[in-house]
Amino acid sequence: MTDVALTPTDDLRKPRRLPLILAMVASLGLAAAGFLAVRMGLIPGLVEHGEPHVAEQGLPAIAYVPVTPIVVSLNGGGPQRHLRFTAQLEVEAAATEEVQLILPRVLDVLNSYLSAVGVDLLESPAALVTIRAQMLRRLQLVAGEGRIRDLLITEFVLN
């Protein structure tokens, strides 16, 4: 039998698992402590007693004004096509009557814009986002600052 003598380099090649095990135990302990802190409400604003935290302010004072459905003939060089468009205006509750008074102007702006839009833009996948942003900006200019909050498109059919 031969005796094998250990050299200092053999000792370095052995894997040391103790630091890895300690790191895993420490991370599990910290995760458990974080979970308990959130669950018990020690960290405000995240979760209280298993339910999401909701602000107690309530909803803003808004109203919805329906826009008369619009049917626009589109000129695309091919067969005659039409766009059917229906929307609602989200307005400040105090400005509801004022916006209802200018609905004919709103319809004019929407008709003019939709008639000028090309069929190729209407058929693109991102058309609704682009068109909605353009129309909302035009309507906010017509209605005046702070009256129309948003344009909600309820029907957009191209046939």
The pLDDT, as a whole number, for residue 120 is: 85
Alpha helix segments (H runs only) across the chain: 8-13, 18-39, 96-101, 103-116, 119-122, 127-143
SS3 136: helix
Rounded Cα gap, residues 131 and 133, in angstroms: 5
Phi, psi of 149 (to 5 degrees): -90, -40
**15-57: per-residue pLDDT in tens?**
788 888 999 999 999 888 888 777 777 776 654 455 555 556 7
Region 105-112: mean pLDDT is: 96
Region 10-16: mean pLDDT is: 64
Inform me whether the pLDDT recorded for 142 exceeds 90: yes
**53-102: per-residue pLDDT in tens?**
555 677 788 999 999 999 999 876 678 889 999 999 999 999 999 999 99
The CATH number of the domain covering residues in 62-158: 3.30.1130
Q: How many CB atoms lie within 10 A of CB 40?
A: 11
The pLDDT, as a whole number, for residue 88 is: 97
The pLDDT, as a whole number, for residue 34 is: 83
Rounded Cα gap, residues 141 and 159, in angstroms: 30
Instruction: DSSP for 4-47, please give it.
Output: PPPPHHHHHHS---HHHHHHHHHHHHHHHHHHHHHHTTSSTTTE
Domain ranges of the chain: 16-52, 62-158
Q: Lowest-pLDDT range, 58-62, 100-104, 110-114, 131-135?
A: 58-62
